Amino acid sequence: GELQVGTQKGQLAPDFEISDFDGSRHTLSDFRGQVVYVNFWATWCGPCLIEMPDIAALQEEFGDDLAIITVNRRETLDAAQAYFENLPLLDGGTGVSFTVDGMDPDDTLFDLYSALAMPSSFFVDPDGVISIVGHGLISLDQMRTAINGALDGA
| Residue 145: inside a domain | yes
pLDDT tens readout for residues 45-60: 999 999 999 999 999 9
Residue 120 covered by a domain: yes
What is the structure's pLDDT at 2?
A: 84
**102, part of any domain:** yes
pLDDT tens for each residue of 13-23: 999 999 999 99
pLDDT, position 154: 55
In a domain, 6, yes or no: no
Nearest to 124 by CA among 17, 4, 2, 14: 14
Domain count, the chain: 1
Range 85-92 average pLDDT: 94
- 7 within domain boundaries: no
**What pLDDT is recorded for position 127?**
97
Range of the domain at 104: 17-153
153 pLDDT above the threshold of 80: no
CATH number for the domain harbouring residue 128:
3.40.30.10
At 140, is the pLDDT very low, low, confident or very high (cuts 50, 70, 90)? very high
Q: C-alpha angle 13/16/21, rounded to 5°?
A: 125
User: Residue 103 above 80 pLDDT?
Assistant: yes
112 falls within a domain:
yes
Q: Does residue 71 fall inside a structural domain?
A: yes
CB 109 within 8 A of CB 100: no
Domain contains 11:
no
Q: 64 pLDDT band (50/70/90 cuts)?
A: very high
